């Protein structure tokens, strides 16, 4: 049994805790604000009861972490927060990471594992960093004191820093969660998270529904024209990957593995998810992670990688500009990690070498 500290207490963090405990491990949640653990029913001193429904159901006991210094007491630290929370949260956890630990970044964006690795101790005394190309599950919080686990992903990629510890990283991930993982280079995992692609196609054509705070189906409103936008952006994401000698699965393949619907056009797959009752409601505000996370830490990151490699990405660039205009955000200047990693100073080969953690 391993002891896992989870940074975050939102839907993905809670779903991850459920899967860990069901697999025989101990899980503890740290909500940086404390709000999302305060609503959980106490089970014992330092423990809370977390009920769960969806594709699995029951309840578990989880530990509650109240001080980030407590992260050092756990074998594994799983970071499960949205990308726009990185600037506030990642600097708080780096002082408490050590070489005996494994640190997993769930659904890693903008090379967050590389940022953590380079700031978590001296070379040779750093924790093993693991980057996931997406999250282990999709989930919602219809009940503030519980979690609904919608789907558990069949298979997705994981990368290690340093790259030389890849076999060890895969073994730990499989021990914790089961056989869901395939090896991949770090930069591939950063490009495999398709949320930025999907959320552009879902949100941009539905701005008036969001402004009017309508109850709208995320996949039900992913009509053929909206899906074509997603497919065009996805082709640019794949072109970026190929420029670095990498292959990443398409948004259709990702959707098939995540939602277990037959392969087809993106519009056909979205309709199948909606018909099967698997579609959540869309956001009712532009101050939502679909923009605040996925534009600066997803699309802007893609655009930066494309610039390094000389790849044209007109649909990605146009989407960033449009989202910045309608939301009032300057999204191209909101990615702290991108600035601090200074990727624009690197060549494609230099970036790939740095991503090995050697």
Residue 63: inside a domain: yes
Place 342 in a pLDDT band, splitting at 50, 70 and 90.
Answer: very high
> What is the average pLDDT across 100-117?
96
- Is-contact 259 269, C-beta < 8 A? yes
What pTM, to 2 d.p., does this model score? Answer: 0.92
If asked whether residues 171 and 253 sit together in one domain, one would say no
Average pLDDT over residues 71-94: 96
Give the 3-state secondary structure of residue 62. Answer: strand
The model's confidence at residue 258, banded by pLDDT at 50, 70 and 90, is: confident
pLDDT band at residue 92, thresholds of 50, 70 and 90?
very high
Domain limits for position 201: 195-353
Q: What are phi and psi of 83, to 5 degrees?
A: -60, -35
Among 167, 191, 215, which residue terminates a domain?
A: 191
CB neighbourhood size of 212 (10 A): 9
Q: What is the CATH number of the domain that holds 54?
A: 3.40.50.720
Split at pLDDT 50, 70, 90, the class of 239 is very high
Q: What is the pLDDT of residue 157?
A: 94
- Average pLDDT of the residues in 193-208: 94
Same domain, 200 and 255: yes
The CA–CA distances, whole Å, from 69 to 29, 74, 94, 327 equal 13, 10, 10, 36
Is the separation of the CB atoms in 298 and 83 below 8 Å? yes
The CATH number linked to 312 is 1.10.1040.10
pLDDT higher than 90, residue 2? yes
For the residues 324-351, what does the mean pLDDT come to? 95
Q: Going by C-beta distance under 8 Å and a sequence separation of 6 or more, which residues neighbour residue 345? A: none
Contact between 186 and 113 (Cβ < 8 Å): yes
**How far is the C-alpha of 84 from the C-alpha of 317, rounded, in Å?**
19
Are residues 57 and 159 part of one domain? yes
pLDDT digits 0-9 by tens, 260-295: 899 999 999 999 999 999 898 999 999 999 999 999
Tokens matching residue 182: 């395939």
Are both 218 and 323 inside the same structural domain? yes
The yes-or-no verdict on residue 111 having pLDDT over 90 is yes
Both 274 and 295 in a single domain? yes
| Residue 193: predicted pLDDT | 86
- Nearest CA-CA partner of 310 in 277, 261, 335, 347: 347
Q: Which of 21, 20, 54, 13 is nearest to 37 (CA)?
A: 13
Q: How far apart are CA 141 and CA 225, in angstroms?
A: 30
Residues 187 and 127 both lie in one domain? yes
- The pLDDT of 5-25, averaged and rounded, is 97
From CA 336, how far away is CA 296, in angstroms rounded? 9
Do 183 and 159 have their domain in common? yes
Please, where are the H alpha helices in the chain?
A: 11-22, 35-38, 86-93, 112-118, 166-177, 186-192, 195-203, 207-211, 224-243, 251-259, 266-275, 289-292, 300-309, 314-327, 336-341, 348-354
Q: What percent of the chain has pLDDT over 70?
A: 100
| pLDDT above 80 for 12 | yes
Domain shared by 51 and 176, yes or no:
yes
Residues 133-168: pLDDT tens digits? 999 999 999 999 999 999 899 889 999 999 999 999
pLDDT at residue 58, rounded to an integer: 96
User: Model confidence at 45, in pLDDT bands (50, 70, 90)?
Assistant: confident
Q: Is residue 358 part of a domain?
A: no
Whether residue 228 sits in one domain with residue 138:
no
| Whether 54 and 179 share a structural domain | yes
Are 74 and 187 contained in the same domain? yes
DSSP state of 72: G
- When mean pLDDT is compared across 39-48, 74-83, 97-106, the lowest value belongs to 39-48
| pLDDT of residue 175 exceeding 90 | yes
Work out the pLDDT band at 125, boundaries 50, 70, 90. Answer: confident
| Inside any domain, residue 211 | yes
Mean per-residue pLDDT, 31-50: 92
Parallel/antiparallel/unpaired status of strands 76-79 and 3-7: parallel
265 and 171 within one domain: no
The answer on pLDDT for 79 being more than 80 is yes
Predicted local distance difference test score (pLDDT) of residue 350: 96
Cβ partners under 8 Å of residue 233, min gap 6: 197, 200, 201, 315, 316, 319
Instruction: Report the domain count for the chain.
Output: 2
Q: Which of 191, 219, 240 is the last residue of a domain?
A: 191
């Amino acid at each position: 049994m391993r002891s896992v500290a989870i940074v975050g207490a939102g839907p993905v963090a809670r779903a991850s805790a459920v899967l860990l405990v069901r697999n025989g491990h101990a899980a503890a949640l740290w909500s940086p604000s404390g709000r999302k653990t305060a609503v959980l029913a106490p089970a014992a001193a330092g423990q809370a009861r977390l009920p769960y429904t969806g594709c699995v159901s029951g309840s578990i006991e989880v530990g509650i972490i109240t001080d980030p210094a407590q992260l050092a007491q756990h074998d594994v630290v799983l970071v499960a927060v949205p990308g726009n929370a990185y600037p506030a949260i990642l600097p708080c956890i780096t002082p408490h990471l050590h070489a005996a630990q494994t640190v997993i970044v769930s659904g890693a964006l903008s090379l967050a594992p590389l940022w953590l690795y380079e700031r978590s101790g001296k070379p040779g005394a750093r924790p093993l960093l693991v980057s996931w190309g997406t999250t282990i599950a999709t989930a919602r919080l219809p009940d503030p004191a519980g979690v609904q686990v919608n789907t558990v992903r069949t298979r997705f990629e994981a990368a290690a820093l340093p790259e030389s510890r890849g076999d060890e990283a895969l073994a730990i991930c499989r021990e914790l969660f089961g056989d869901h993982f395939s090896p991949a280079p770090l930069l591939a995992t950063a490009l495999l998270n398709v949320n930025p692609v999907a959320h552009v196609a879902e949100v941009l054509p539905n701005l008036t529904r969001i402004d009017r705070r309508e109850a709208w189906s995320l996949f039900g409103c992913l009509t053929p024209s909206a899906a074509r936008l997603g497919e065009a952006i996805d082709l640019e994401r794949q072109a970026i990957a190929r420029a670095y000698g990498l292959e990443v699965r398409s948004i259709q393949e990702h959707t098939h593995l995540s939602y277990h619907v037959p392969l087809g056009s993106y519009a056909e797959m979205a309709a199948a998810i909606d018909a099967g009752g698997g579609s959540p409601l869309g956001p009712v505000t532009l101050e939502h992670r679909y923009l605040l996370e996925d534009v600066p830490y997803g699309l802007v990151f893609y655009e930066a990688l494309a610039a390094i490699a000389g790849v044209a990405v007109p649909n990605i660039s146009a989407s960033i500009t449009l989202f910045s205009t309608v939301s009032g955000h300057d999204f191209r200047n909101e990615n702290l990690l991108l600035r601090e990693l200074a990727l624009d100073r690197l060549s494609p080969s230099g970036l790939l070498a740095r991503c090995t953690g050697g």
